[in-house]
Structures are given as C-alpha cells and as structure tokens.
C-alpha cells in the first residue's frame, strides 16, 4: 500500500504507529462525527486503535480493504479515507468512506485527498477497480458536494441504511465508474 501525497496532505497507510494520533483525532471530533458515523466504542482509546490499525494494515496487505490517514505534516491526523467491502471477480468494486476534522472543513482538503485515493484505486496497473460506491446522509450537504465534485452520481435513497446515534438513518447512495478500467486477468476473476 502506497503512501500518497497531495499539495497539502500526506495520506499515510494505516499502521499501528499512528494509534495515538488517530485516537486524538476521534477524541477531538467525537461530537462532530456522532451525527454522521455509527457508534464505535473505543475509538478514542490508543490501545484499541493499535488493534484496528493493525487489522487495517493486514487487510491492505491482502488487498481486501485500504485505509489512509490524512496528515498535514506527517504527525497529526486530520481525517481518514477507507475503502472496504472490496469485491473482485466479475465486480471489481468497493465502498468508500471518509471523515475529516471539524475544524478543517470547507478548505477542500477532503476533495484533495479523495482525488488522490480515487486515482490510486482506478490505476490500471495498480488496484484497478471498476466501481466505487459511497453513501451519505441527505442532510450532510458537504459530503454530497464533495462526491459530486469528484464525479460520483446518485444511485438512489437507501432507507434505514445505518444506525447512527441510536436511530436508523436514510442515506443517498452514489457511484463512480472507472472509465479506464482494464479487464483483469483470470486470477482476479476467481
């Protein structure tokens, strides 16, 4: 898994060495993310982050999921981008998720980070996905705008999609197809 770089960000592959900075990110943003993310106890606990980041690194090594941590300086974590539910075979798709520090919103940082990640995911000689999906709550206008700017198209409304803060919430589903997708060899079609 490659470290990615944009004009203002380092996108660091998930690694247990980032546990403290990641726990601090979630602690700083607990109230902000509670509106958009399912409850996951332990996010602010560095020892739990060691476990999760180790699992994320192992998943990346086997090509079943990827997670990058967003950092302006290689020390502080300002957000994350995750790619999960990777399906190969005749599908070559995955689900995109992301979170950004509340104090950093409105500066184009997530757009910048996601541009780099989508390029990496669609790279014909690399990960080479055909399709990415992302879901967001309709009232999360910023998230919808980021996806629209990246070329994601709305698929439809998924009712009661995720349980967030104790209530089932609708989400808008979006997709982006890779116009440069190259048919994979037989080994990845299994």
Q: Which residues pair with 79 in a beta bridge?
A: 70, 100
Per-residue pLDDT, 190: 41
Whether the predicted pLDDT of 94 surpasses 90: yes
- Residue span of the structural domain in which 144 resides: 4-189
What is the tally of structural domains in the chain? 1
CA dihedral sign, ordered 175, 88, 79, 8? negative
Angstrom distance (rounded) from CA 109 to CA 146:
10
Strands 93-100 and 66-71: unpaired
Angle (CA) 147-152-153 rounded to 5° is: 120
Angstrom distance (rounded) from CA 59 to CA 61:
5
Whether the predicted pLDDT of 189 surpasses 50: no
Per-residue pLDDT, 184: 63
Per-residue pLDDT, 130: 96
Angstrom distance (rounded) from CA 190 to CA 187:
6
What is the pTM assigned to this prediction?
Answer: 0.91
Q: By CB neighbour count within 10 A (0-12 exposed, 13-18 middle, 19+ buried), where does 12 fall?
A: buried
pLDDT in tens, 41-91: 788 899 999 999 999 999 999 999 999 999 998 889 999 999 999 999 889
Per-residue pLDDT, 186: 46
Q: By CB neighbour count within 10 A (0-12 exposed, 13-18 middle, 19+ buried), where does 83 fall?
A: buried
Per-residue pLDDT, 159: 96
pLDDT in tens, 131-187: 999 999 999 999 999 999 999 999 999 999 989 888 999 999 999 999 989 876 544
CATH number for the domain spanning 80: value is 3.40.630.30
Cα distances (Å, whole numbers) of residue 165 to 43, 158, 176: 15, 18, 28
């Amino acid at each position: 898994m490659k470290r990615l770089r944009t004009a203002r960000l380092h996108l660091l592959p998930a690694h247990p060495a980032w546990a403290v900075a990641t726990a601090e990110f979630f602690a700083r943003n607990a109230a902000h993310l509670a509106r958009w993310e399912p409850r996951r106890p332990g996010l602010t606990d560095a020892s739990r982050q060691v476990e999760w980041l180790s699992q994320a690194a192992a998943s990346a090594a086997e090509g079943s999921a990827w997670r990058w941590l967003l950092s302006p300086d290689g020390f502080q974590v300002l957000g994350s981008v995750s790619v999960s539910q990777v399906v190969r075979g005749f599908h070559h798709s995955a689900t995109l998720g992301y979170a950004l520090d509340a104090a950093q919103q409105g500066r184009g940082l997530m757009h910048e980070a996601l541009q780099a990640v989508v390029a990496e995911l669609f790279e014909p000689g690399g990960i080479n996905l055909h399709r990415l999906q992302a879901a967001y709550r309709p009232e999360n206008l910023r998230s919808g705008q980021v996806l629209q700017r990246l070329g994601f198209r709305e698929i439809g409304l998924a009712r009661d999609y995720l349980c967030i803060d104790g209530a089932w919430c609708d989400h808008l589903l979006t997709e982006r197809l890779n116009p440069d997708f190259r048919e994979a060899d037989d080994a990845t079609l299994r």
